[in-house]
Amino acid sequence: MEKNQSELAFEKYRLEETILLAESQLKQARLDNEGNSEEIVFLKKEMRENSAHSITNLWNSQNFEDLIELSQYQNPITEKLLDYEKIANKITILKKVIDSPYFARIDFRFDDEDSFDKIYIGLSSLKEDDTKDILVYDWRAPIASMFYRFSSGSALYEAPVGKITGEIGLKRQYEIKKSKLEYFFDADVQIADEFLRKMLAQNTSSKMKTIVETIQKEQDVVIRDMEYDLMMVQGAAGSGKTSIALHRAAYLMYQGSSSSLSANNIIVISPSTIFEQYISDVLPELGEDNVISVVFDEILSDVLQCRCLQTKNQFLEIMMTNSCYERTMKDSLQFKTSPEFLKILDRFIDDLPYRWIDFEDLYYGEKCIAEKEELREILLKGRKTTSLGFRLNQAAEFALEAAKEYHREHENQAEYMKIKEEIRRLTELNIPCLYSKMFEDAMYFHHLAKDIELPCDIRNIMEFTQDNLISNRFYYDDAAAAVWLKLKIYGTDKYRGIKQVVVDEAQDYYPLHYEILKLLFPDAKYTILGDMNQTLEKKEDLSLYENIGKILNKKKATLVTMDKSYRSTNQILKFASRFIQETSAMESFNRDGDKPEIHPASDGFELCGKIISEVKLCLDAGYQSVGLLCKTEKNASFLYEILKGKLKIHLIKDETAENVEGVFIIPVYLSKGLEFDAVLICDTDSENYKSEEDKTLLYIASTRALHRLNLFCKGEISHLL
């Protein structure tokens, strides 16, 4: 008891000391930035007053010195602005530190020392300005890794200078909120598990949270890995893949501060906007605000410069609600994202200069300055070694040189501008339009596909594609193919700086998509996380990762498997495991809850009544997010119309939803990657869920639930249940 009291007194004192230091640094930082902003205002004023001449005349001035004069003012301003931003960032971090400076402590004795050092671990580090003593270590610091990997006893960590060994005497965890020590406990394995169980038993929120306090050893190994160029994780639903992805991005940023990796060198690729929203708080909470986060579909529309491409989710909705097209759409997607189709696209690119790029003789006034045969010859030369885009540029350069030469002797500004514009257009191919050409004539398509194995329903696929392209609809499958075509022809420098790519929900992408990533980020290292059991319109197994490895072709690649699921209760996991292959082991974190139940109803009225009572029960139990899941948006909208007058409920049917909280109805495919306190799967009748793929939908839907899962149906229950 006495010992506890003195420990408590010590910890309170230590916390006070830490907060005092953080507060004094915050005060200083605020002062520094007041100074900075005054100086910025002063410098701007000075620039305006002293360089008025330069600015007003700058754009039509031929005088290089004007520019230099302006930059003399601009540079100090930019420097001060950078300084300001850096300190503003420090202020944000210090405020967080003051609120909760650390969450753990390990007492570590280095092998060559006699006493134990107290290592406090928090979201960010805190250092004495003068002595440089570290009061709090960033959770990403090498020494902090021991907290995640060892219990008391011998321990080691990898420091920049090599392996450091020693002994851990104590592991302690803290709950500090609003600068107040709520409690602390000494954590052996059992107590740490109990703490995690308590955390997992809490309600979820509409935004994903950080897990720094409870990262598990196997997760930490992936988060801190620096050895592999391609790190792949196959993880069961709820095993923490997304959490790992984001904590790894934060870790790489931390590592990067010593190896010049900056925020714009890391990109996190999400499968949908709703998912991107859901994860958007994690990196800022970890103190990393600026990591690039992008939805895969956005990359496609960005490359193709077309805002109206169909998203994967729109594709899925049409596929699932139009049974007559379902087979064809699936086969079309499978085919157009396959290596076979890539070969056809490759042949099409080779054929473009012969058949589809129509050069004309180029005239400056009356004078022909470049004949079409000359231009074509340039285009055909070097086609084995250089890209088509490059050769188009060469042809344009040739024509431009000729135009310039003629212009020198026969100056005619209007003609010169006209021909320059014509030459510029030489390099521009209309990719969507060219892509359509491949499908306009079946004979031509089969000519390109000679000796390549085609799907048996290629005729249907061709017709389906023609119909879509004629009506100017760029379906998901065609969009990706056209993007690949454009990248292969022109390449892109847009993402050249990216050194690390993090891809979540890897199972949703096809070989073509990984080919696209390879073209976009040729020199990057990759972290790829997925679950082969969560594919919607295709079947995957472990070969998924083998194929990714082959496509990305990195020197050092590895696959880590994670079977333990942290999201759902034992009962929910057990229920969900009936929807996946028996070989896919799934272990729960041993948290108990109610057994999922199936509630059949004889008509819509009864169904509605049962759903309403379950929702009320969930709300009474204090659940904050209650998800009513339906197979499609069509089913979801139908249910919404019935329930909207009877419950406070909202419908989430597109990806723009900001916050998924309260009681809501959502199609299963949109709920991927998200989680809710309670889930009601509302349309589990034999009509909706009958195929192997529907089984996957049920798996995804069931594993969204943290604490409670119930299934409802009108009429005959699906035989998959």
Ligand X SMILES: Nc1ncnc2c1ncn2[C@@H]1O[C@H](COP(=O)(O)OP(=O)(O)OP(=O)(O)O)[C@@H](O)[C@H]1O
Going by the annotation, the residues of the binding site for ATP are 235-242
Q: Name which position in 146, 215, 487, 651 contacts ligand X (CB under 6 A).
A: 215
Stretch that binds ligand X, among 165-173, 213-221, 377-385, 481-489 (CB under 6 A): 213-221
Q: Is 214 in the site for ligand X (CB under 6 A)?
A: yes
> Judged by CB under 6 A, which of 288, 317, 478, 675 binds ligand X?
675
**Can you tell me which of 241, 488, 525, 610 binds ligand X, judged by CB under 6 A?**
241
Q: CB–CB of 464/340 below 8 Å?
A: no
* 266-270 vs 500-503, strand pairing mode: parallel
Query: Rounded to the nearest whole angstrom, what is the least distance from the CB of residue 223 to ligand X in the complex?
Result: 10
| Shortest spacing between CB 545 and ligand X, in angstroms | 15
Residues 6+ apart with CB under 8 A from 123: 96, 97, 100, 103, 138, 139, 210, 212, 285, 286, 287
Q: Does 238 bind ligand X (CB under 6 A)?
A: yes
199 lies in the site for ligand X, by CB under 6 A: yes
Q: Which of 655, 683, 658, 684 shows the shortest CA–CA distance to 670? A: 655
- The correct pick among 567, 631, 695, 708 for binding ligand X (CB under 6 A) is 567
How many other CB atoms sit within 10 Å of the CB of residue 691? 10
Contacts of residue 593, Cβ cutoff 8 Å, sequence gap at least 6: 569, 570, 571, 572, 707, 708
Asked if 429 interacts with ligand X (CB under 6 A), we say: no
Closer Cβ to ligand X, 196 or 663, answer by number: 196
Q: Which of 36, 243, 273, 635 binds ligand X (CB under 6 A)?
A: 243
Residue 235 interacts with ligand X (CB under 6 A): yes or no = yes
Residue 319: which of 307, 331, 309 has the closest Cα? 331
527 binds ligand X (CB under 6 A): no
* Cβ distance to ligand X smaller for residue 353 or 530: 530
> Pick from 25, 124, 145, 219: which binds ligand X (CB under 6 A)?
219
Strand runs (DSSP E) across 603-690, as ranges? Answer: 625-630, 650-651, 662-667, 676-681
Contact between 702 and ligand X per CB under 6 A: no
Nearest to ligand X of 661, 675 (CB atom): 675
Burial grade of 543 (CB within 10 A; 0-12, 13-18, 19 or more): exposed
Interaction of residue 237 with ligand X, rule CB under 6 A: yes
Closest CA to 458 of 448, 446, 469: 446
What's the closest the beta carbon of residue 575 comes to ligand X, in angstroms?
Answer: 15
Give the Cα separation of 535 and 538 in Å (integer): 6
Closest separation in Å from C-beta 236 to ligand X:
7
549 belongs to the binding site for ligand X (CB under 6 A): no
CB of 196 to ligand X, least distance (A): 6
Q: In the structure encoding, which two tokens stand for residue 391, read together?
A: 């050769």
- From first CA to last CA, the distance across the chain in angstroms is 54
- CA–CA separation, 282 and 4 (whole Å): 35
The helix/strand/coil state of 73 is helix
Q: Which of 101, 432, 549, 673 binds ligand X (CB under 6 A)?
A: 673
Q: Determine the interface stretch with ligand X among 184-192, 235-243, 417-425, 472-480 (rule: CB under 6 A).
A: 235-243
Residue, CB closest to ligand X:
240
Q: Which of 364, 476, 566, 575 binds ligand X (CB under 6 A)?
A: 566
Of 234-242, 304-312, 512-520, 593-601, the window that binds ligand X (rule: CB under 6 A) is 234-242
CA 306, 309, 312, 313 dihedral sign is: positive
Instruction: Record the tokens describing residue 554, joined without a space.
Output: 């990195």
User: If binding is defined by CB under 6 A, does position 271 make contact with ligand X?
Assistant: no
Q: How far is the CB of 285 from ligand X (least distance, A)?
A: 12
Cβ(650)–Cβ(664) below 8 Å: yes
Q: Which of 122, 166, 240, 432 binds ligand X (CB under 6 A)?
A: 240
Site for ligand X in 143-162 (CB under 6 A): none
Say how far apart CA 591 and CA 571 lie, in whole Å. 8
Shortest distance in whole angstroms from residue 139 CB to ligand X = 12
The distance of Cα 102 from the centroid of its chain, to the nearest Å, equals: 28
CB nearer to ligand X: pick between 120 and 566: 566
Pairing of strands 676-681, 705-714: parallel
Shortest reach from residue 240's CB to ligand X, in Å: 3
Residues 500-539, buried b or exposed e (16+ Cβ, 10 A)? Answer: bbbbbbbbbbbbbbbbbbbbbbeebbbbbbbbbbbbbbee
Q: Is 405 helix (H, G, I), strand (E, B) or coil?
A: helix
Residues that bind ligand X (CB under 6 A): 196, 199-200, 209, 211, 214-216, 219, 235, 237-243, 531, 566-567, 673, 675, 703
